[in-house]
Amino acid sequence: MRLLRWSVLLCICQQPTVDVSAQSARERAFDAAASVSERGYEWLAWSTARIGHRLTGSDQGRKAEWLADSLFRAGGLDTVYFEPFEAQAWSRGTVALTVGDADGYVHLPCVALANTPLSCTTDAPIVDAGNGLPEDLDRLGSTTIGATLLINLGLVAASEGTANLHRSEKAALAMSHGAAAILFVNQVVGGVVLTGTASVDGSLIPIPAACLSTEDGTRLRERMSRGEALTARLTKRNKSEMVTARNVIGEIHGKDHPEEIILVGGHLDSWDLATGATDNGLGSFSILDLARLMASMPFRPQRTVRFVLFMGEEQGLLGSTALADRYQENGTLERISCMINLDMSGNPQGFGVGGPSGWRMVIQDACDRIHRLDTAAFEGRTSEEVWLHSDHEPFLLRGVPVIYPLSDLGKNVYGCYHSSCDDIHLVEPSAMTNNVRFVGALVYELAAASRLPGHFTEEGLKTRLISEGLEQSLRIGGVWPWE
């Protein structure tokens, strides 16, 4: 019965006239294939077992680049190639934390944050800086100078509506207030510590930064609340070298408008504490499977679809920034209709969009039609929220509309973000299958549109970023495009 249905759909899809019914039939044909012939989870499981983590600049990272290139080629894409870029690749060495008072010392487990000094030892009094926001640091005055600041990664006891900052932005603020070191406190219970970059631009910062568990952070604060004066000795030995990393690109040429490009991207690299199964194997291996399935269909998208697996995202959006810069220099950026970013996405329930007037309606109409493919698994929600710190950011800051799946992977997944528990046991195969199904349907919708809205104007982008409350973060990161 399934073969009969598939044959009927193929006959409909091969009709020369492109109309609504033919487009719907094509999407149903793709959805049928994506529902029964998925490979992304299988590939991800193999990678986590045979390659391990995918840290940029490491042997494992290079193996992951070659694997992605091979899978694109085996999938039969029209064009497959590397886009190399230079990057400063930080790698982990040793870290030790000792906290003492007048009576003695204790050793606490911690994890070094990336892009911190290669060799250092600091001895400095601990000062509780709360959430590490500007108001927290301003309130402490000169006590931050020469201190080890204890800072929450998340928001704790913050007033309603308070916006958090990225850890790298909190590190930049701490340094501007004279901190000698930073101890970040994770908010995930169970002794979980995480890593991540402490640098806003991928360069090495001059002070050490490490992450503590929420339990150890709580105990330190309890001691300080009793009036104990605590000092932290933080010793680190790390490595860093300039390497050539490679974004991996595959392409399906558009049938009617090959000059217009829909870019589907996600980062392939991961941190080294685990295997990066959810961050971002979940997204990147879904993209590999999506590319394979689209290339196998007996019909082509009307616009070109370019699949990009970025390296260096974790160290500061290095690969995506390099590619966006290159596209701006050679004129390709004008041909990018939109950028769809899959970063820790699974079981999409809709799509968000950051674009100028007209894009919300395009996405809403597409979501309504995708909802009819599977009313149980896809809700068809939309959002216009704009956020930062993933590979869409460099494209957004150059005016390109950005789109992202609306997903909720659950606390068990987000609690393992950047930590030693981010492994294949967290990944639901169906989450990857639905990534491919629903992102693929969206790509076909966008590719078939008679006309897509354009890019942001400079003033329109500035207004949007300000209205979303992102100016402060971008200024701290040194990438605010205006004076």
472 dihedral zone (left: phi>0; alpha: psi -120 to 50; beta): alpha
- pTM equals 0.94
Do 64 and 99 belong together in one domain? no
Q: 243: closest CA among 54, 58, 68, 51?
A: 58
Angle of CA points 383, 386, 390, to nearest 5°: 115
Domain count for the chain: 2
Question: Is there a domain that residue 84 lies in?
Answer: no
Q: What is the model's pLDDT at position 88?
A: 87
Collapsed DSSP state (helix, strand, coil) of residue 303: strand
Please say whether the beta carbons of 200 and 477 come within 8 A. yes
Domain end call among 241, 267, 301: 241
Do 453 and 308 belong together in one domain? yes
State how far the Cα of 313 lies from the Cα of 251, in Å rounded to an integer. Answer: 21
Interhelix angle 429-448/359-373, rounded to 10 degrees, is 130
Query: Where does residue 173 rank: exposed (0-12), middle (13-18), buried (19+ CB within 10 A)?
Result: buried
Do 331 and 419 belong together in one domain? yes
235: number of Cβ within 10 Å: 15
391, two tokens? 């590979």
Do 55 and 170 belong together in one domain? no
State how far the Cα of 44 lies from the Cα of 385, in Å rounded to an integer. Answer: 30
Question: Is there a domain that residue 83 lies in?
Answer: no
Q: What is the model's pLDDT at position 13?
A: 45
Question: Is there a domain that residue 435 lies in?
Answer: yes
> What CATH number should be reported for the domain holding residue 71?
3.40.630.10
Q: What is the model's pLDDT at position 6?
A: 44
Domain end call among 177, 210, 241: 241
Question: Is there a domain that residue 441 lies in?
Answer: yes
Please say whether the beta carbons of 346 and 353 come within 8 A. no
Do 32 and 139 belong together in one domain? no
Do 167 and 72 belong together in one domain? no
Which residue type does 84 have?
P
Do 153 and 195 belong together in one domain? yes
Question: Is there a domain that residue 36 lies in?
Answer: yes
Question: Is there a domain that residue 341 lies in?
Answer: yes
233, two tokens? 């000795």
What sections of 204-278 are H helices per DSSP? 214-225
φ and ψ of 311, to 5 deg: -105, 160
> What CATH number should be reported for the domain holding residue 151?
3.50.30.30
Please say whether the beta carbons of 129 and 136 come within 8 A. yes
Do 220 and 294 belong together in one domain? no
Q: 383: closest CA among 398, 405, 414, 399?
A: 405
Element (H, E) at 114: none
Domain end call among 172, 206, 241: 241
| Domain of residue 185, residue span | 90-241
Do 232 and 352 belong together in one domain? no
Do 101 and 71 belong together in one domain? no
290, two tokens? 């999506």
Do 123 and 271 belong together in one domain? no
Q: What is the model's pLDDT at position 154?
A: 96
Task: Tell me the pLDDT of the chain (483 aa) as tens digits.
Answer: 444 344 434 444 443 334 678 888 999 999 999 999 899 999 999 999 999 999 999 999 999 999 999 999 999 999 999 999 998 889 999 999 999 998 899 999 999 999 999 999 999 999 999 999 999 999 999 999 999 999 999 999 999 999 999 999 999 999 999 999 999 999 999 999 999 999 998 899 999 999 999 999 999 999 999 999 999 999 999 999 999 999 999 999 999 999 999 999 999 999 999 999 999 999 999 999 999 999 999 999 999 999 999 999 999 999 999 999 999 999 999 999 999 999 999 999 999 999 999 999 999 999 999 999 999 999 999 999 999 999 999 999 999 999 999 999 999 999 999 999 999 999 999 999 999 999 999 999 999 999 999 999 999 999 999 999 999 999 999 999 998
Do 38 and 138 belong together in one domain? no
Collapsed DSSP state (helix, strand, coil) of residue 33: helix
Q: What is the model's pLDDT at position 285?
A: 98
Residue with structure tokens 């989450």? Answer: 431
Question: Is there a domain that residue 85 lies in?
Answer: no
Question: Is there a domain that residue 20 lies in?
Answer: yes
